[in-house]
Amino acid sequence: MSNMDKLQTSIAYLKGVGPGRADILGKELGIFTFADCLNFFPFRYIDKTKFYKINELLPNSSEVQLIGKISNLRTVKQKRGSRLTAHFTDETGSIDLVWFKGAKWIQDSIKPNTSYVIYGKLTVFNGMFNMPHPEMELLSTNKASLRSALQPVYRSTEKLTNKGINNRVMQGLVQQILKEINGRFEESLSTEILEKYRLVSKSEAMFQIHFPENQEKLFEAQKRLKFEELFFIQLQLIRKKVLRNIKFKGFVFKEIGDHFYQFYEKHLPFELTNAQKKVLKEIRKDLGSGAQMNRLLQGDVGSGKTIVALLTMLMALDNDFQSALIAPTEILATQHYNALVELLGEMEIKIDLLTGSTKTSKRKQIHADLLSGDLHILVGTHAVFEEIVQFKNLGLAIIDEQHRFGVAQRAKMWEKNHLPPHVLVMTATPIPRTLAMSIYGDLDISIIDELPPGRKMIKTVHRFDKNRLAVFHFIKEEIKKGRQVYIVYPLIEESEQLDYKDLMDGFESISREFPLPDFRISIVHGKMKSADKDYEMQRFVKGETQIMVATTVIEVGVNVPNASVMIIESAERFGLSQLHQLRGRVGRGADQSYCILMTGSKLSDDAKIRLQTMVESNDGFQIAEVDLKLRGPGDLAGTQQSGVLNLKIADISKDAQLLFLAREEAINLIKSDPNLSDPKNFLTSKTYQKIILNKENWTNIS
Ligand code: ADP
Ligand code: MG
């Protein structure tokens, strides 16, 4: 049997495992085969290469190894039983050792005036360093023994421990399998790549990842395995993209014509920012390429995505194609529609709005105009996706995602044509570049990384609940100046009832503090009928009310330029990206805007970092990076569908450099050998096929 075959052996056949333990290993750790076991990497290592001196110890040194002598053994009586303590001394100081069990055996076996190596976890007790139940070994024995200095620690669970599968057993299993296959693995990367990035071989990496000889070798093994993992993910994404370009021919928008130029020269109300120009060039190139565009347009709130959308739709129109612009809510769709109508002025372009509440007669007319080609641009909600809505020749679909549509819904648009329209997805949620590459690696990405000129920084402060009066006073001053104010309460599903109560209590106290007739207040929350919500929202938009009390429903793109203050209640309960989105509701007009983050006095460390980040930064990308570091990719939107959650060893936030290299290399490879048929890429191809096959098996099962 070859090693490759051996690796597929069920773990039950390994000596010391058997059916019972195999079952638990599968259920708890997903280990079914020999290969799974070897691919279950240690999550940390005990470093016994370093010896500390006692005067170097810090309260957070956790596990340390020391050399010294043991003295002053004595038994201390306590409530239940007794404990044994001792001094442990080196030339720089001393600490206490303590045992709660096994005192007799220890007392008898410890040799006085002899050097020991001890290892264990440090705690601080009565201001003294203290090591309970240290591992001990005579210095002479330690010096004579030959073993790997860094010891692997595998993740475990209670069920595993109960079945006697502790760390030592895991080490044993891994060791056994490595022996079975003589430590030899099939290489998965080409010699070219291995040499270019100075990566160690697969066999070397797999051995060193479990039993590293030293930190250096461990690092090399990690680097190699991380690269491999990221490389094969990127390879899949990039192949998908290439295949799609071959499979999905796109409409060719050959020229930029009258509509575009007329608008650009006569109607454009401002000069485009360089970032907007750059993005338009990228889009223009796609539209002329002959392949279907699949582009993600990222731009912070207020960065000016709407105008980019409009100019793109004019390119479609100049080539006799219709466009659709789809927004996640009715309010947003209506706002888009109004904004576009205003921008287009008296230009002869037919544009209409289709939402859930469009009247039947109007609806019928829209359907007819779409089919005849009289209607050029349709703005709408997901109502546009409905079967009955058919276009004469839809050439472009722009989806203002704001986070609400999933990848799946994007595909739906395609069914409306024999050829799929070009697709531009706009999102206001900045995603760190590393994450975008991993989730949307098969899309092209454009970024507007510059705000229109003259925009004022939103001043952000953090205030504790006890200073609420001062905050209310500030709100009154702003309202006197003619401004409007948002006050937002959290709404998190699990504690919906409680949140609702908070909101209502808050509303009541605000009503008392800001009485009629001087102040008028709107309230909007998820329990209201959508017609009532719209009514209240409209009152605020029109300036009939000065304060909008709301749950996070308003997060989704409302535009009220006169609103200049955003108060976020219980701000510690919001994630960074949500805080940033909420703050983006203000700062849309000419006035200085403010964001006040209200919190209680007890804050977790993470909450403090989030608040501080908000106070210090207005840059969505910078905030997204901090968010990724704090939470890992798991909590960020979009990661569920992507592989980034299941990464075995790489970490897209910490291993950004490697990710960029892996992507670059994957692109190079696909460019030079699209079908991976060159003999020198044989090993890569084989591994790639195996991954794809595995994936297909899984999708068939689930
Ligand atoms: P978002 O990216 O959040 O959708 P919008 O497209 O709504 O942003 O633009 C925000 C505001 O900035 C709008 O009032 C728009 O008219 C204005 N704007 C957009 N681009 C520019 C520009 N290049 N110069 C000046 N103002 C601009
Ligand atoms: Mg927008």
Nearest ligand 1 atom to the CA of 309 is 6
What is the distance in A from the centroid of ligand 2 to the CA of 399?
A: 11
Question: Does residue 585 contact residue 428 with C-beta atoms inside 8 Å?
Answer: no
| Gap between the Cα atoms of 628 and 636, Å rounded | 8
- Whether the CB of 589 sits within 6 Å of ligand 1: no
Q: How far is CA 264 from CA 142, 204, 270, 277, 320, in A?
A: 79, 60, 10, 12, 18
- Whether the CB of 33 sits within 6 Å of ligand 1: no
Question: What's residue 100's pLDDT?
Answer: 86
Q: 577-581 long-range contacts, Cβ below 8 Å, gap at least 24?
A: 577/429, 577/430, 577/623, 577/624, 577/627, 577/636, 577/637, 578/552, 579/610, 579/614, 580/614, 580/620, 580/623, 581/301, 581/428, 581/429, 581/555
**Mutate which of 263, 270, 342, 429 to test ligand 1's pocket (most atoms within 8 Å of Cβ)?**
270
- pTM comes to 0.68
| Gap between the Cα atoms of 176 and 275, Å rounded | 57
What is the distance in A from the centroid of ligand 2 to the CA of 555?
A: 12
Question: What's residue 443's pLDDT?
Answer: 77
- Whether the CB of 526 sits within 6 Å of ligand 1: no
Query: How big is the CA angle at 30 (ends 26 and 36), to the nearest 5 degrees?
Result: 100
Q: What percentage of residues in the chain have a pLDDT greater than 70?
A: 91
Tokens at residue 273, please? 């920012």
Among 404, 576, 552, 573, CA closest to 486 = 552
| Gap between the Cα atoms of 237 and 437, Å rounded | 9
How many CB atoms are closer than 10 A to CB 512?
8
Q: Starting from the edge strand earliest in sequence, which strands make up the sheet with 63-77, in order?
A: 123-125, 128-132, 93-99, 82-90, 63-77, 115-121, 135-138
- Whether the CB of 68 sits within 6 Å of ligand 1: no
Rounded average pLDDT per 10-residue block, the chain, 702 residues: 82 90 92 94 85 85 87 86 92 93 84 92 84 89 70 88 84 93 92 94 96 89 95 89 74 90 92 96 92 88 91 96 91 89 93 94 96 96 87 92 52 64 86 74 84 87 94 95 93 67 87 91 85 87 93 69 94 89 85 94 92 92 84 56 67 84 92 90 90 62 35
- Whether the CB of 304 sits within 6 Å of ligand 1: yes
Strands (E), 29-105: 44-47, 63-77, 82-90, 93-99
CA 302 to chain centre: 22
Nearest-ligand number for the alpha carbon of 448:
1
In order of their start, the domains of the chain are 1-45+149-184 (1.10.150), 50-148 (2.40.50.140), 258-287+304-427 (3.40.50.300), 459-617 (3.40.50.300)
Tokens at residue 314, please? 């004019």
Nearest ligand 1 atom to the CA of 273 is 23
Q: How many residues does the chain have?
A: 702
Q: How far is CA 229 from CA 147, 297, 402, 681, in A?
A: 29, 27, 31, 17
Among 40, 37, 38, 65, CA closest to 53 = 65
- Whether the CB of 280 sits within 6 Å of ligand 1: no
Among 245, 248, 242, CA closest to 419 = 248
Alpha-carbon radius of gyration of the chain: 32
| Gap between the Cα atoms of 44 and 152, Å rounded | 6
What ranges in 78-124 are assigned the alpha helix state H? 103-109
Nearest ligand 1 atom to the CA of 276 is 23
Nearest ligand 1 atom to the CA of 306 is 6
What is the distance in A from the centroid of ligand 2 to the CA of 206?
A: 49
Site of tokens 């679909």 = 397
Q: What is the pLDDT of residues 385-420, one digit of tens each?
A: 888 899 999 999 999 875 544 444 555 555 666 678
